[in-house]
Amino acid sequence: MGIIVSAAVPTVWLRPRRALPFFSRHPWVFAGAIGRIEETPVPGAVVRLATAEGEFVAWGLWNPASAIRVRLYSWDEDQRLDEAFWFQRVREAVAARRRLFGDGPAWRAGRMVSSEGDSLSGLTVDCYADHLLIQWTSLALSLREAVIVEALNSELASAGIWRRTDTGVVSKEGLPRNDGLVMGHAPPSDLTVVEHGIQYQVDIVEGQKTGFYFDQRDNRMAVAQLCQGRRVLDVCSYTGGFALTAAAVGQAASVHGIDGSAPAIERATGNAARNGLADRVTFEKADAYRFLEQAIQRGERYDVIVLDPPKMAKAREQIDSALRGYHGLNTLALRVLAEGGVLATCSCSGLIDRGQFESVLAEAALSANRRLRIIDSRGAAPDHPVSVHCPESAYLKCVLTLA
């Protein structure tokens, strides 16, 4: 992957009356907003975004294969998207984490770069002790990998950097599927991270997404505070984050986690044993809907239920089916929830906003004939900041409710 260098910077002109969102610093310029293009920029080229009348708006990177034709990075006409610029953006992102975490354990177990939230649209970087994992969601920015890696190394000494590709982005961006070692040593399959005093072995090479869901860090603690002496069910438990925190920190009486992935269940079971929690925490490979339906038939009740399903809407045409899926899952959970119990329900589908998700909860409560009160409505942990200029990047909803 190499930087695209061009002596002349092509101009991309917007359609008339389409400039306001970009003057307001929204970073995504979709194809429909573009009126005409000077010459034919190569993929990854720096381009100058201008109004229909030619007024400068911002500097960005061009990708003709993506619905997001231009991602914007600077609104300063005197700024250039050169190596010094990318170094500074990475430096600012890492400095923000130092302010958040100081020298605490989260400093070496969390997200160091969060795409739009750090004005680096198309890049996420997670830190796992001495290893970094980078994930590209922009072809154009990925062509700057060498300088980005150099910048990361200058700020975060690491034993190795591993690259993973989001399979859902490959076709949308024209990104090559190119997972592998970028520099240093490959991460071990039993890499250990510590969160809230709990040790987790994670696999950042073969595990889901980037290996561990740091975005739920604070939500796991919030749920744990409601679990003392309770019987807890963790649906879509993955490697056991909510389950183990409920037991270790929240002092739950018992916790049962279910997940459809056999490797995740094996990893979660090992994590429970590793932390001395196997007597109170169990895991089972099961389909979420079928397990809840069978629990209803058996008359089982849980005091606290966590729903943290995978993303259900990856494209706009999937929104309706996703809303139905969330409705069905939450309705079943409410039928298993004990009177006065807590339902902590999550959605990581960015295409579904908080209002839509909470409306689904209201409909699920009616379907289950349950009274439901929202006691907290939460988002991602602070190392996953959201740009005020790109609110749709606030993908995670974690709603705590009381029945």
Overall residue count recorded for the chain in this entry: 403
Give the 3-state secondary structure of residue 123: strand
Buried/exposed code over 178-212 (b: 16+ C-beta within 10 A; e: otherwise): eeeebbbeebeeebebebbebebbbbbbebbbbbb
Tell me which residue of 63, 67, 70, 56 sits closest to 27, measured CA to CA. 70
d(CA 15, CA 32): 8
Let me know if 236 is a catalytic residue. no
Catalytic choice (227, 348, 390, 398): 348
CB-based contact 231:334 (threshold 8 Å): no
Count CB neighbours of 1 within 10 A: 16
Q: Which residues are catalytic?
A: 348
